[in-house]
Each structure stands twice: as C-alpha cells, then as structure tokens.
C-alpha cells in the first residue's frame, strides 16, 4: 500500500499551532478528548516539565518519520540512538506505509496517526517516562474508527504502542493493544462533544468487554514471583475498575436520592431492582478507645474476642 492509495482528508493541519480546520471551521484533536476523560493523568506535574517532554517527543517523532521515509539517521547522537532503538523494536512489524496520516470525521475531530503499516495496522509512538496504557488504547481505537470511516474498504487488523523512553525510565518496547469497539469510541466522542457526563463515557469504556490496558510500563524488578505476576496484574486492573464503579455508584445513588426527595417518593421497584429511600436518623455507638482508657474494668468485662481468619491486604500504587 502506498500513501496515495489512502483517501486524503480535506481537513487542513497547521503543524506550528497544532490546529485542524475545515472550510474555516476548527476541529478538535483526539488528545483533548483523552484529557477530558482522564483529567488527573498529569496532575501535579509542572507545565514546564510537560512542555519539555512534548518538545522532546516531537523531535523523536520527526526523526523516526525521516528514517522511515528516507532511511536517514539524525545527526544528534541522542536522537540517533533513539532511532536505532525504534528500528530494533519495530523490525518484526509490517513495513511502514506512511507517517502522520490525517484522519477525521470532518465535523468534530481530526488527528494525525503516527504510523500506518502496509497491512493497515496502526501505531502510536510514546516517549513518556510512564506509559498510560488505557489512554493510548483509547487513542488508537479512535484513530482506527476514523481510519475505517475515511477508508470504508479498509479494516485495521492491529494496534501497536511503540514506547521509546529515555534510558533512565525503561527499555524500548512494542505492545499490541486490544481494540476498543468503534461504537464505544463514537459514543465517547459524542458525549464529549455534547459536554455530557464524563462518568457515563467512562462507564461505557469500562463495560465495553475489552481487556483494558491500564498500565503498559514494564515493571521494575521487585519481590513478586514471576509465576504469580499475571494474577497480580489482574488484581491491579480489578482494583482500578472497582474504584471507578464505587465512585460511580456513589454519584448515581446521590442523584436518585435527590430525585426521590423532590418527588416525595420513598420506594421504587420493578422486576429487576428495588430502591428504598431511608429517612435520616441518629445513630448511637460506643467510643471503645475512650471506654478502655477511662473504665478498663468495664471494658474488660464486656470485651468479646473473635478469631479473625488469615487474610491478605494490598495497595495499588
């Protein structure tokens, strides 16, 4: 496949200002959608650090593009080493057909795909110190949706994350990511475009039936035995999903409580669920710590011992 065989988008990309326009109308990139859905990804990181990282990432992308199209290595020794790493980790992938291929739905969003391979597989290059796997998975899945929308006769067979970190952060690698369905991607974009409920978009994502890549950063050597690593990784994913759904449950219950109070309703039910509004009340309890300190004899008299079974605790970092 050659680049000319792909359908070109009429959207105009301004590389200097990183803007997309169509007939004088501005379109958004995909990155703002990802930032809207995951607002805390780079929380606490100074803007100067983020700007430096973005500038370095741009240099790496350009160097890899020149290498792919012209087989020319950069003069800068550091960039040259990164391109060597890029060539090494991607040698088993199909040949690159084109870089920075612009795709768009032609009325809301547009973006440039880092790499399109001859078999229509897509890839995104990341140079960050940590890989936010789910973000890249969603980004590439949206790209795949737009790619097939723009090229109806083509199907994307695979999505790849190409990680090219600085030496102190890890070893370069390629990771194939499972694709999030186009219907989910389109729904998320629609909710974002309508300034809708972010958590409803997140619920659609987490319930899409696809294995979500919460973290693709290679794990540093630690104390976890290799034979249980897969089980531990699954526990991390489950915990993050539980945290999300616990937050979502709290918000839904609060919305329903307000609605029932406004309607002066105490109970709703159908064949699937029963919802009951409980009146406020004053709950009494014993301050056992104060009781033990002030009246140790009484505390000892009424103390009850219960054998607790062996258990496990964990904390996702």
Residue-level pLDDT at 242: 82
Mapped onto helix, strand or coil, the DSSP state of residue 126 is strand
Confidence of residue 227 (pLDDT cuts 50, 70, 90): confident
- Over residues 223-252, the mean pLDDT reads 80
What is the pLDDT at residue 298?
Answer: 93
Question: Which among 94, 79, 239 has a CA at the least distance from the CA of 176?
Answer: 94
Q: What is the percent of the chain where pLDDT is above 70? A: 96
Would you say residue 38 has pLDDT above 70? Answer: yes
Residue reference for tokens 């030496």: 167
Q: Is the pLDDT at 4 greater than 60, yes or no?
A: no
pLDDT of residue 40: 84
Q: Look at 53-62, 168-177, 230-239, 270-279 and tell me which has the smallest mean pLDDT.
A: 230-239
Point out the least confidently predicted range of 72-81, 85-94, 235-244, 279-288.
235-244
Q: Yes or no: say if 212 and 203 are a contact pair by the CB < 8 Å rule.
A: no
| pLDDT exceeds cutoff 60 at 1 | no
d(CA 230, CA 233): 5
Handedness of CA 80, 82, 85, 86 (dihedral sign): negative
Q: Give the C-alpha separation, 265 to 276, whole Å.
A: 9
Res. 219: pLDDT tops 70: no
> For position 138, what pLDDT does the model report?
97
Radius of gyration of the chain (CA): 26
Q: What is the four-CA torsion angle of 132, 137, 139, 140, rounded to 10 degrees?
A: 130
Arithmetic mean of pLDDT, 82-108? 96
> Any idea which residue has 């409803």 for tokens?
200
pLDDT, tens only, 135-165: 999 999 999 999 999 999 999 999 999 999 9
Q: How far apart are CA 124 and CA 120, in angstroms?
A: 13
pLDDT at 33 over 80: yes
Q: State the Cα–Cα distance between residues 227 and 172, nearest whole angstrom.
A: 24
Neighbours of 136 (CB within 10 A): 24
- The strand order across the sheet containing 12-14 reads 12-14, 19-22, 25-27
Query: Token pair for residue 260?
Result: 């029932």
β-pair partners for 162: 125, 174
Between residues 91 and 232, the one the model is more confident about:
91
* Mean pLDDT score of the chain: 91
Q: What order do you get walking across the sheet with 110-117 strand by strand?
A: 96-104, 110-117, 122-126, 159-163, 173-177
pTM more than 0.85: no
pLDDT at site 3: 47
117 with 143: CB under 8 angstroms? no
pLDDT of residue 216 exceeding 70:
no
What are the distances in angstroms from CA 15 to CA 19, 20, 58, 100? 7, 9, 11, 11
Q: What share of the chain is helix, strand, coil (3-state, %, to 5)?
A: 45, 15, 40
Identify the bridge partners of residue 176 per DSSP, sorted by sequence position: 160
pLDDT higher than 70, residue 169: yes
d(CA 92, CA 202): 34
Token pair in block for residue 99 = 């870089």
């Amino acid at each position: 496949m050659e680049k000319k065989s792909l359908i070109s988008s009429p959207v105009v990309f301004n590389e200097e200002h990183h803007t997309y326009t169509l007939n004088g109308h501005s379109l958004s990139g995909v990155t703002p959608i990802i930032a809207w859905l995951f607002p805390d990804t780079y929380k606490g990181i100074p803007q100067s650090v983020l700007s430096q990282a973005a500038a370095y990432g741009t240099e790496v992308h350009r160097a890899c593009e020149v290498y792919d199209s012209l087989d020319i290595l950069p003069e800068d020794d550091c960039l040259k080493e990164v391109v060597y790493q890029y060539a090494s980790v991607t040698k088993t992938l199909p040949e690159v057909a084109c870089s920075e291929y612009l795709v768009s739905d032609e009325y809301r969003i547009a973006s440039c795909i880092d790499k399109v391979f001859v078999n229509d597989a897509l890839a995104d290059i990341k140079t960050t110190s940590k890989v936010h796997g789910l973000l890249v998975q969603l980004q590439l899945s949206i790209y795949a949706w737009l790619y097939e929308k723009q090229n109806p006769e083509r199907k994307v067979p695979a999505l790849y994350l190409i990680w090219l970190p600085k030496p102190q952060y890890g070893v370069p690698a390629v990771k194939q990511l499972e694709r999030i369905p186009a219907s989910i991607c389109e729904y998320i974009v629609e909710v974002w475009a309508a300034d809708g409920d972010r958590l409803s978009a997140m619920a659609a994502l987490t319930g899409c039936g696809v294995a979500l890549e919460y973290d693709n950063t290679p794990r540093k050597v630690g104390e976890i035995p290799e034979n249980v690593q897969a089980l531990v990784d699954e526990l991390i994913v489950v915990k993050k999903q539980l945290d999300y759904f616990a937050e979502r449950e709290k918000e839904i219950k609060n919305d329903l409580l307000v609605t029932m109070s406004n309607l002066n309703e105490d109970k709703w039910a159908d064949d699937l669920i029963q919802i009951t509004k409980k009146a406020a009340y004053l709950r009494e309890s014993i301050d056992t710590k104060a009781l033990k300190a002030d009246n140790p004899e009484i505390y000892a008299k009424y103390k009850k011992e219960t054998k607790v079974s062996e258990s496990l605790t964990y904390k996702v970092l």
